[in-house]
Every structure is written in structure tokens, then in C-alpha cells.
Amino acid sequence: MLDFNDSIKFDEKENDLLTVGEMLVDMISADYSEDFECDTYNKFFGGSPANIAMNARRLGIKSIIASAVGKDGLGDFLIKRLEQCGIDTSYINRVDCSTSMVLVTKSKSSPTPIFYRAADYNIVYSKQLEQAVQNSKIVHFSSWPISRKPARDTIEAIIEEARRNKVLLCYDPNYHPMIWEKGHDGLSYIKSIIGKVDIVKPSEDDARRIFGEDTPENQLNKFLGLGAKLVIMTLGKNGAIVSNGRETKKFNTLATEVVDTTGAGDAFWSGFYSGLIKGYTLEKSLKLGFAVSAYKLRYTGAVVELPNLEEIKILFGI
């Protein structure tokens, strides 16, 4: 079904994209520090599914996010950012836990994030969320919600409902052992999820964490072997290889200037989804994804002021 020269025929739906997962405050050190002696941190809006929803909205497609934040000032801050972007925030649960945070101390050697998970995984399944799944063309989720219950159960219910309603199901297998429920076999669970979705976009690091060291081509085949219908494997400055199991294509990076890599993956997803929703072929949609990612790389921040999709097409000659 997912052929490079075909476009995806979506049923008529109210909404284009529903992302499900973490909304976070990113607390990032102002300076580089190898020993955590830095005093000053700056707070940013964060969370990949929220970034994708905002980007997609800026590119001109309808998007909503299902998430959970605390009944606190940081939750208000995150929700306000989405509202400023014109996103319906009624699918965001307000819960009796602190809004989740990731603290990043910038380092020349290895910046190790410290995770403060609380509200984010309290996404509960509801009639309203079920209807949002039914009324969307694409559902996207990340590894954060499947790492802990009750969000894990919610994602399982969403997957079933999406498959019943022919919703395109996409998953970002950004596995990190630090976020996973202790004592739960995250790797085998992720493998089971990969078999239930249509599209996955692992990075080389993701693939290594899930399957161990191997060539990109072999890693692609492992994802396909688990049942994914399209695998987009990103290779950093070497672009990406994409396979539907019948055909594998190499895509060169479109980046000419790299200022900040934060949020480049989220930018890809949003450009790619926008292309699919606009009815472009899979190949052209992938190119649009790589173009939006290349555009984002020129600027600092996880979410930047994206132009609309027509401007992206002109800028990158697509």
C-alpha cells in the first residue's frame, strides 16, 4: 500500500493529525558545564508530540494533541503556548502531579538529561479521545507514553481504535532506558508495538538501542521484519534510507547550515505529514519532511517559526 509514487487516500475526517504523548518543560543550562556547577537554567516548551502538532499547524494542517500536564503554573505555561498556536487543548488532561520536566546540562562531552516524570504519563483513554482517533487521518505517538501506565494502556486502546478506523498509525521508537518503567521489558514491548503500526522513524541510535550494532540496511530489515509497513531510518548528515519492504530509497540531507539540531526530527515528521495530507506522493512527502527539517536546522530552538508548505516547496525546489 505504501508505494513511493502513490499518495495515501485518507477518508474524509474532521482532523488531520492527532499526536499523543509527552508535554514537558525543558530546563536547559545557559552555559556548558562538565560538572553541574553551572547555576543558570532556562525553561523551554518541550515534548516531541507537542512540537510536531505545533509545527504541523504552522505548515497549514489541522492538528491536536492528547497529553497530560499538572494542575500547576508549568502546565498553564505549556497549554498557553499551544493556544497561542491555535491548537485545541481540550484533549490535555490536567492531573494531580507535577508537570513533567527534563533538565539538560549542556556539556562538550556527553550532556546527560535528568528526567522528572510525573504528569506526562497520566494520559487516560476517554470517549472524547476515542472520537478524536476516529476523526483523525493520522495518529502519531512517541515512546514516552508507552513507557508507563496508564498512558501505555491508552496507547494500546488508541492503536486498536485507529486500526478499526483505517487511521494511519505512526510511531517514533525513541527508546531511552532512563524513562522506562523499572522492571518492565521496554525493548521487547517496543518491538511488539512496531508490528502494530504503519510507519516508524528510527534514528541510528534508536536502532542500536533496540537491536544492537548493525548496518543501516540490516537495521531497516529488522524493523520491517517486525511488521512495520514503512521504515524511515535517519542517518544524521548522511540523510536517510527509507523502505517499504519492496523498495528501498536513499535520501540525501537537504541541510546546508546546521545551527541547532534540537527538534529536527519533529520538524521532519510535521513536513512529512503535511505532504501526505496535501495528497502528495510518499516520495514527495518524504522530501518535504527532509526540507522542513533542513529549514529548522538553520535556527535555534525545538520549534521555530516555520513558513507554510508552499514556501518550503519553493525554498527547496520540491
The residue ranges that bind a copy of itself (CB under 8 A) are 27, 30, 35-43, 70, 72-74, 76-77, 96, 98-99, 101, 103, 105, 112, 114-116, 118, 182
- Of 48 and 98, which has the nearer Cβ to a copy of itself? 98
Dist. CA 132–CA 126, nearest whole Å: 10
Dist. CA 52–CA 18, nearest whole Å: 10
- Give min distance, CB of 2 to a copy of itself, in A: 40
- Give min distance, CB of 97 to a copy of itself, in A: 9
Residue 177 corresponds to which cell in the numbers above? 532506558
SS3 180: coil
- Of 10 and 116, which has the nearer Cβ to a copy of itself? 116
- Of 104 and 157, which has the nearer Cβ to a copy of itself? 104
- Give min distance, CB of 149 to a copy of itself, in A: 16
Q: Which amino acid is at 171?
A: Y
- Give min distance, CB of 277 to a copy of itself, in A: 33
SS3 17: strand
Nearest to 188 by CA among 210, 221, 213: 210
Backbone φ, ψ for residue 309 (5° rounding): -65, -35
Neighbouring residues of 229: CB distance < 8 A, sequence distance ≥ 6? 1, 2, 198, 199, 244, 245
Q: Is the dihedral of CA 149, 154, 160, 162 positive or negative?
A: negative
Give the burial string for 110-135 (b: 16+ CB within 10 Å, else e): eeeeeeebbbbbbbebeeebeebbbe
Q: Are 317 and 40 in contact (CB under 8 A)?
A: no
- Of 70 and 173, which has the nearer Cβ to a copy of itself? 70
- Give min distance, CB of 216 to a copy of itself, in A: 32
Dist. CA 268–CA 289, nearest whole Å: 4
- Give min distance, CB of 56 to a copy of itself, in A: 25
- Give min distance, CB of 117 to a copy of itself, in A: 9
- Of 27 and 220, which has the nearer Cβ to a copy of itself? 27
